Copies of this chain bind each other. A is one copy, B any other.
């Protein structure tokens, strides 16, 4: 169930998401796609855990990469693509779930580089929102057929 700002963008994004095998494999569900901001969520399962029973860092980094990448994709011309140039992810606390929320947004669009940030957060027992990881990334704009 999407909240979406723009029907054409939705269509392009839904296609891109439907063919993203790894996003499906880890169980990501997109919940909102707007121009410059994308949200998703994931129910933490046993196969997402590292050795101490928390969300694996690679999983958390993947969530950031995906929502930031689609946020970048939402602000470029329709005949362009983005690829991740680099992403840095900082880990603030253990990812315990039970549900992880990922949000990615554009902080500086551009014709060559779209700079984005992303974070993954969860809610603790007191229903307080707590950031698990935060990422900053350079998304590189490329041609449609690279």
Please state if A88 and B48 are interface contacts (CB–CB under 8 Å): no
- Chain A binding site: helix, strand, loop or mixed by DSSP? mixed
Task: Tell me the bound Cα distance from A65 to B43 in angstroms.
Answer: 22
Interface centre among A51, A58, A134, A138 (most CB of B within 10 A): A58
Cα A20 to Cα B55 with chains together (Å): 10
How many copies of this protein are present in the complex? 4
Q: Are A115 and B142 in contact (CB under 8 A)?
A: no
In the assembled complex, which residues on chain B have CB atoms less than 8 Å from the CB atom of A88? Answer: 86-89, 136
Of the residues B24, B50, B138, contact of A138 by C-beta under 8 Å = B138
With A and B bound together, what is the CA distance between A140 and B69 in angstroms? 18
A25 to chain B, nearest CB (A): 4
